[in-house]
Structure 1
Amino acid sequence: MDAEFWHSRWAENRIGFHLNDINPVLAKYWPRLNTTRSDTVLVPMCGKSVDLTWLAEKHDNVIGIELSDIAVKAFFSEQFYIPTVTSIGCGQTLYEFDEITIHCGDFFATRIDPVDIVYDRAALIAMPPTLRQMYAEHLLSMVKAGGRILLVTLDYPQAEMDGPPFSVTKGEVEQLFAGCKITHLDRDDADESHPRRKRGLSRFAEEVWLIEV
């Protein structure tokens, strides 16, 4: 993962990947994870997503991991939260407010106690092919046995567009999470009016997966 690339995207406010509203996929499929309020939820590469606030209304412990301090500070500012900020070494800073904790720093250097649930909308698809196996292994090391992952991926001809976000195929999801139970929940194929299709992609789809560890 090219840290400078992501730092520059946030510094220049080139964040087309950010959603201003709750992700409809999250609201639609969260019940499939059979969560309880006491479940700890992890959101890798969380940015300044308002999904964190939605999750915090349902869970007592929501943990984000984000490389960009610009994104983390923007999240708390836009939500009118005043966090406690603590440097914890190894280039990591901890931001805490009520149910929400965000680790600001390199995902691969982050160490947390295993969580019950993961919501990955933007992390795996941000990883180039060379880092995806390492990403999946590190992510799974953060999940308790019996934990669940709600994963969102994209499927499009990679040769037709440079990532990120990258295309991650069904076969790659199955390879990365081999040994887990994988359920394909949804596939939404975009029509010609979709912005990505207008840029020349012959097809573009968002897919949703339930992965049980």
Structure 2
Amino acid sequence: MDTEFWHSRWAENRIGFHLDDTNPKLIKHWPQLNAGRDDVILVPMCGKSVDLTWLATKHDKVVGIELSEIAVRAYFSEHFYTPLVMPLGNGQSLYEFDELSIYTGDFFQTRIDPVDAVYDRAALVAMPAEMRQAYADKLLSLVKPGGRILLITLDYPQPEMDGPPFSVTADELQSLFPGCELTLLERDEADETHPRRQRGLSRFAEEAWLITV
């Protein structure tokens, strides 16, 4: 992952990946994780996602990790929250407000206590192929045994479009998360009116996966 690429995207406000509304797949499939109010939830590479706010209504502790401090500041500003900010050294800071704790800095260098559940909409698909195993290994190291991951992926012919976001196939997921139970919750196949299809993709699908560690 090219950190400068993502820093520049946020600095220039080129954030087409950001959704202004809560992801419908999060609302639809989160109950299948059976996460309790006391469970700690991790959102890797969270940006300024409003999904954080939705999760904070369901759980007492939601932890985000985000490379761009611009994104984290924007999240709190846009929600009129005033967080407590604690410098952690090595270019990292911790922003805290009620149920939310967001760490700024490199995901691979961030240390947190193990969590009960994970919501990943835009992290794995942002990773080039050569970094996905390292990402999956790091993610699994942060999840308690028996923990659950709600993972949103994309499936399209990679040669037809440059990422990110990248295509991640079901076969690749099996190799990235060995020993885990993977369940396909939904496959949403786009028709010809979808913006990605109109850009020339022969097919494009969004998938929701439940991964049990």
Report the 3-state secondary structure (helix = DSSP H, G, I; strand = E; otherwise coil) of the residue aligned with 2:59. coil
TM-score normalised per structure 1: 0.99
Distance 1:185 1:111 in 2: 30
Give the aligned residue type for 1:8: S
Using the TM superposition, give the Cα deviation of residue 35 of structure 1 relative to its aligned residue in structure 2, in angstroms: 1.0
What stretches of structure 2 of length at least 5 have no aligned partner? none
Aligned partner letter, 2:198: K
Give the drift of 1:210: 0.2
Deviations 1:125-152 (A, max 9, x none): 0000010000000000000001000000
Identity %: 73
Q: Describe the SS at the equivalent of 2:209.
A: strand
Match of 1:128 in 2: 128
For residues 21-72 of structure 1, the C-alpha deviation after alignment (integer angstroms, 9 at most, x for no partner) is 0000000001100111000000000000000000000100000000001100
Shift of 1:19: 0.3
Matches within 5 A, 1:51-200: 51-200=51-200
1:37 maps to 2:13: no
Q: What is the Cα deviation at residue 7 of structure 1?
A: 0.5
Counterpart amino acid of residue 103 in structure 1: Y
Q: In the alignment, what sits opposite 1:49?
A: 49
Instruction: Measure, in 1, the Cα distance between the counterparts of 2:181 and 2:156.
Output: 24
Aligned to 1:202: 202
In structure 2, give the amino acid aligned to 1:7: H
Q: Equivalents in 2 of 1:90, 1:32: separation in Å? A: 37
What is the total number of aligned residue pairs between the two structures? 213
Structure 1 Cα separation of the partners of residues 69 and 106 of structure 2 = 11
Shift of 1:4: 0.4
Q: List structure 1 segments (4+ residues) > 3 angstroms apart after TM superposition.
A: none
Q: Distance in 2 between matches of 1:103 and 1:130?
A: 25
The answer for unaligned runs of 5 or more in structure 1 is none
Q: Secondary structure at the match of 2:21?
A: coil
Q: Which amino acid aligns with 2:211?
A: I
- Code of the residue aligned with 1:32 in structure 2: it is Q
Letter of the 1:159 partner, please give it. P
- Distance (whole Å) between structure 2 residues aligned to residue 176 and residue 145 of structure 1: 17
Give the alignment's Cα RMSD to 1 decimal.
0.5
Q: CA deviation at 1:91?
A: 1.6
Residue aligned with 1:132, SS: helix
1:96 is paired with a residue of what secondary structure? strand
SS of 2:94's equivalent in the other structure is strand
- What amino acid does structure 2 have at the position aligned with 1:131? M
CA shift for structure 1 position 203: 0.5
TM-score if structure 2 supplies the norm length? 0.99
Q: Residues of 2 paired with 1:71 and 1:163: CA distance?
A: 21
Name the CA distance, whole Å, in 2 between partners of 1:69 and 1:127. 19
Q: What is the distance in 2 between the residues matched to 1:13 and 1:5? A: 12
After superposition, give the CA deviation of every residue in 1:73-108 in whole Å (9 maximum; x if it has no partner). Answer: 000000110000111112211000000000000000
Match of 1:211 in 2: 211
Amino acid at match of 1:108: F
Instruction: Classify the secondary structure of the residue corresponding to 1:174.
Output: helix
SS of aligned partner of 2:15: coil
